[in-house]
Structure 1
Amino acid sequence: MPHLTSSVHGTASTGLHLGLGVPGYAHPLLAPVEWGELTRPGAPLHWVVLDVADGPGAQPDPHCLEAAGRLRNGDIRVLGRLDATYGASTFGEIVSDAHRYRDWYRVDGFFVDRCPTERTALPEIRRVVGALRGLADDAHIVFGHGTHPYPGYAECADQLVTFSGPWSDYRWSQVAEWTADYPPERFCHLVHGVPRGHLEEALRIARWQGAGTVWFTDRADRDGRTGSPWESLPGYWDEIVSRIGPGVSE
């Protein structure tokens, strides 16, 4: 059962203003409605991941450039997706992709997907982050662990994804005690398969566990056969925006 481990988190459980982190829609040509909805006035977005073609692609994509530009013009942070493949990707591969994201799409930071979690991999990830911050001093860096990593990772990223998975696991998940040493804005939860009737419960769990950024969707992951559950809008997009947003202009 989720629990609070500090007075800081006790305050967050009732007063924390949650925001949304979008882990990456399908290509703008395939999901024009989704990308369009992200610029809706009042949508409480912390960041949106841009994944052109399992990374930045081989050449600039004008459709992705346009989509990213609209978001950035709306003061919405755009993050380029970098795949660490749990430590199998080399330093050079990751940094090369990061350069292309910056050069082609002027991203505001990076989502390091499939980031390793072990203590032994931390020095190399620190080296990667040093290079990423060298591209832009104010780069926002999110580690896409999907589970609680060794605590030292919290010292070199702006945010950690400490849960990514199905609602059936999330509703019984527990928060690691060391997270109480950090404010909620350092943690993100990505949950798929959340039924509309359980949306309020999911929001309660996120606040209770001290996560400041969330993404909940009713889309399900069918063993990869129908693509990622993150590729399209949740069926209750309007409801989730109204529940956690500052107000929506219809």
Structure 2
Amino acid sequence: MNTLLVPYYEHPSVRPAEWAAILAAAPRLYGVVLNPASGPGDRPDPAFAELAARLRTAGVTVLGYVDTGYARRPYEDVVRDLSRHRAWYGAQGVFLDQVSTGVREFGFYERLAMTARILGHDRLALNHGTPPHPAYAALADLLVTFEGPWSTYLRTPPQPRAYPAGALQAHLVYGVPPGADVAGAARERGAAVHCAVPGAGAHPWGTPPRGLEPAR
């Protein structure tokens, strides 16, 4: 199966070689998270629209980035972003970020998931960054159950299966050194999908995944 999720948050006009390398890896990609401006932005970006079309043509699922603010962001603002990603960039799915893990907020995300499907988003990824309540598995195609540095990931023990067999998990790992076997570590920890980037600090997702760096 396609095992790489790529949240690469750089403009295609500024990093064309990096985006070309990602496009060349299309058969290996579970999806690419498109994030023009911490979401779709206030107006369509022609460069991102062209990139999204190229990704779709290559058979890559485009996931629009939407911040949910741990269920504190107004529902109407989140839905607006869902609609813009679909209308402006032809996103086939959505990557909801800063998603809560507890049952108290579950209703907010249940409603969002239903709305996303109605709007035409066929693939839904929820970025919890840590294991959520098992109920969330019924909403999403992909649960991000780890996001953090490689040093922390190494200390994270394999977890017993807490989700139904059909619920895919993803792990997003940054600060990854050359040669690190993140794919193997992810499989040991129950994740079929992963991303490993060398970047660290406040903006690790400004670096392409290990193995997808452009030739210099």
Paired residue secondary structure (1:38)? helix
Q: SS state of the match for residue 33, structure 2?
A: strand
Secondary structure of the residue aligned to 2:162 is helix
Deviation at 1:43, TM superposition (A): 4.7
Contact 2:159–2:190 (CA under 8 A) maintained in structure 1: no
Within the candidate set 155, 158, 168, 1:186 is matched to: 168
CA deviation digits over 1:58-107, x for unaligned, max 9?
11110000111100000100000010011111211111111111111110
In the alignment, does 2:214 pair up with 1:233?
no
Alpha-carbon contact 1:82-1:111 (below 8 Å) kept? yes
On the 8 A contact 1:52/1:64 being kept in 2, the answer is: yes
| Aligned residue number for residue 21 of structure 1 | 5
Between the aligned partners of 1:157 and 1:42, the Cα distance in structure 2 is 22
- 1:237, CA displacement in angstroms? 2.8
Q: Does residue 217 of the first structure (1) align with residue 174 of the second (2)?
A: no
1:120 aligned onto 2:95: no
Q: Aligned partners of 2:89 and 2:26: how far apart in 1? A: 24
TM-score (norm 2): 0.92
Contact 2:94 2:123 in 1 (8 A): yes
Q: How big is each residue's C-alpha offset from its partner over 1:182-238, in whole Å with a ceiling of 9 and x where there is no partner?
A: 24x6100000011113x22x22211112211110112222xx2xxx11112246436
Which has the bigger relative contact order, CA under 8 A and spacing at least 6?
A: 1
2:26–2:58 CA contact under 8 A, matched in 1: no
Match of 2:151 in 1: 168
Q: Would you identify which runs of 4 or more consecutive aligned residues in structure 1 move more than 2 Å?
A: 174-183, 234-238
The equivalent of 2:80 in structure 1 is 96
| 1:205 match: secondary structure | helix
Gaps of 5+ in 2: none
Instruction: Spell out, residue by residue over 1:20-40, the C-alpha distance to the aligned partner (whole angstroms, 9 max, x if none).
Output: 001233111222112111221
SS at match of 1:39: helix
Q: RMSD in angstroms over aligned alpha carbons?
A: 1.9
**Rg comparison, structure with higher value:** 1
Number of aligned residue pairs: 214
In structure 2, C-alpha distance between the alignment counterparts of 1:81 and 1:41, rounded to whole Å: 21
Q: TM-score, normalised by structure 1?
A: 0.80
Q: Counterpart of 1:177 in 2: which secondary structure?
A: coil
Unaligned residue ranges in structure 1 (runs of 5+): 1-16, 239-250
Map of 1:246 onto structure 2: none
Cα distance, 1:180 vs. partner?
5.5
Aligned-partner Cα distance in 2 for 1:80–1:219: 22
Match of 2:178 among 196, 218, 221: 196
Residue of structure 2 in register with 1:3 after alignment = none
Query: Could you report, residue by residue, the CA deviation over 1:98-141 in whole angstroms, capped at 9, with x for unpaired residues?
Result: 111111111010000011111100011100111000011x6100
Offset of 1:177 from its aligned partner? 2.6
Please, which of 137, 143, 159 is the counterpart of residue 154 of structure 1?
137
